[in-house]
Chains A and B, each alone.
Chain A
Amino acid sequence: MSGELATILDHIDKIGELDLDDVEPTSHVIQVENVLRPDEPRPSLPREDALAQAPDPAEGGFRVPSPGGA
């Protein structure tokens, strides 16, 4: 895989050829104003639905092994 990544990075390095000094970066491509909506409370996903797909649900949460091992 490292050979493949090197080939891809060689291609990507072509953008180094462009003069981009005075160019603004684009993160969002369509001009939009800040969008605000009223903060209206509405029901959230029921807990049992949120847990229904969990590999190891326990006590109303997602159980995982100890982060520190053992």
Chain B
Amino acid sequence: MSELLELTAAQAAERIRAGEVSAGELFELYRERARGDELGAFLWVSDDDPPDTPPDAPLGGVPLAVKDLFCVKGVPSAAASRILEGYRPPYTATAVERLNAAGAPTLGKTNMDEFAMGSSNENSGFRPVLNPWDRERVPGGSSGGSAAAVAAGLAPWAIGTDTGGSIRQPASLCGIVGMKPTYGAVSRYGMIAFASSLDQCGPLTRDVTDAALLFRHMVGRDRCDSTSLEFPEEVRLPKAERLDGLRFGVPPELSGEGVEAGVREVLDRTVKLVEELGGVVEEVGLPHSPHGIAAYYVLAPAEASANLARYDGVRYGPRKGNGDLLSLYEETRAAGFGAEVKRRIMLGTYALSSGYYEAYYGRAQRVRTKIADDFRAAFERVDLILTPTSPTVAFKLGERTADPLAMYLSDYCTVPMPLAGVPAISIPGGLSDGLPVGIQLAGPAFSENRILDAAYALEQAIGFDGSGARV
């Protein structure tokens, strides 16, 4: 039994295909582990009979943990918010449907920051998630439940969503792999919307191969999401052992000030490894990226303030208030939304209000152009950008809850990529004082194959041991 837990999802799928273990056995094994979850990673675990996965299914029947932000038909899907407590959607998100169809049945729904707003999972409307490396620390957020579940071996693999770093930062803090794809690569249909121009879903996995395998079966145009696009090439399973001929740019803006020493050491070691593998490393500027957090915290709350207007206690979710319609809205929202969600709705409506619109929203959209231009210019010179994923390792529970700005700055290195729409992966680069440090690789739009190949070559050279997080 414990031997099965040491397998990556791709390896487990191979065992199933070889007839050495059945998909049903694997599902039961992980279901028991998910039910015994002491980290707060799961909000719901499937009671269904393990589905009959055909032996030739590309994902082999290996069960999948799904962030609570995804609608799954008939299954509680609340985006970890009290305002959607008990909500069971009448349809399933396209990404989940595609992965189920490819042979990854839904194991459970994972905890998260409410409506994906947070970097520590402490904003969950239900309960926080503990980091399996050190239970006094946060797993990161907002996909903290998915990251902790995969790191701890409570799920073979998972999906999450990333708006400003919500896949990559928790992957970094939990010592696993997480990829935010190019905007439009994966359908957003059925993802409970936070900031629609930034949201994108992607894999959280034990290794790069698993990430590629999941991603391969998520991509593609969906008529239910008009921003989704056909992926321009086949998503390949990575094989690269060398990085010869690849140019890597390290932006000083995202690797200097504010990055703690232990993280910097892992970055420096990774740079040396890149060179040993034949890659060329140079400095490349992303001069506007220091303004990323400011622009993001105008744009994302502005979009959220519009997207979250639908939660009013009329069509779904708990209803509060006994008086007239206005008090119904007010009391439902006062009771249903947590503090961070209220904060962002207020920021967003303020930024969009008449008289302030141009100074905030208009300017932030122009900063977004400058950040995207920085990436375009950088990718004229280099093939990939290399940064730390998070400026720090996992911080203590409660450490940043009293200071929202300090919490926001957790996403300092991950926010510029979604603003520019470009893909990026976080892989474990090593440990600092026993806690994982993530390394981020970003590339131009639709360069996921290049990113996955480089990440794979680095992963082999780094040889990270994630068994310290297994429970």
Contact = CB atoms under 8 A, between A and B. Distances in A.
Interface of A: 1, 4-5, 7-9, 11-16, 18, 20, 23-30, 32, 35, 37, 45, 49-50, 52-56, 62, 64-70
A55 B317 contact: yes
B347 interface: yes
A11 B368 contact: no
18 contacts: A7-B403, A8-B343, A11-B294, A11-B405, A12-B294, A15-B291, A20-B366, A25-B369, A27-B197, A29-B368, A29-B372, A30-B229, A32-B229, A49-B90, A50-B315, A53-B316, A67-B325, A69-B323
A62 B91 CA distance: 19
A26 B372 contact: yes
B328 interface: yes
Given A7-B404, A64-B328, 18 more contacts: A4-B343, A12-B360, A15-B295, A20-B366, A25-B362, A25-B366, A25-B369, A26-B365, A26-B366, A26-B368, A28-B227, A29-B183, A29-B421, A37-B223, A54-B315, A65-B328, A67-B325, A69-B324
Contacts of A4: 343, 404-405
A65 B325 contact: yes
By secondary structure, the A interface counts as loop
B297 A8 contact: yes
Contacts of B362: 25
Contacts of A29: 183, 197, 368, 372, 419-421
Interface in B357-373: 359-360, 362-370, 372
A18 to B, nearest CB: 6
By secondary structure, the B interface counts as helix
B320 to A, nearest CB: 9
B182 A30 contact: yes
Given A18-B367, A25-B368, A64-B328, A11 B317 contact: no
A9 B319 CA distance: 32
Question: What 10 pairs across the A-B complex have the smallest Cβ distances?
Answer: A29-B421, A25-B365, A55-B319, A69-B324, A53-B316, A20-B366, A23-B366, A49-B90, A26-B368, A67-B325
A12 B356 CA distance: 13
Contact of A18 (B291, B323, B365): B291
Nearest to A14: B294
Contacts of A8: 297, 343, 347, 404-405, 408
Nearest to A68: B324
A45 B343 contact: no
A56 B369 contact: no
Name the residue among A13, A27, A52, A55 with the largest chain B CB count within 10 angstroms: A55
Interface string B224-248: 0011010000000000000000000
Contacts of B197: 27-29
B228 to A, nearest CB: 9
Nearest to B198: A29
B354 to A, nearest CB: 17
Contacts of A64: 314, 325, 328
Contacts of B404: 4, 7-8
Contacts of A54: 314-316
Nearest to B422: A29
A55 B324 contact: no
Contacts of B88: 52-53
Interface in B158-182: 182
A39 to B, nearest CB: 12
Contacts of A53: 87-90, 315-317
Given A30-B184, A30-B445, A67 B326 contact: yes
B359 A18 contact: no
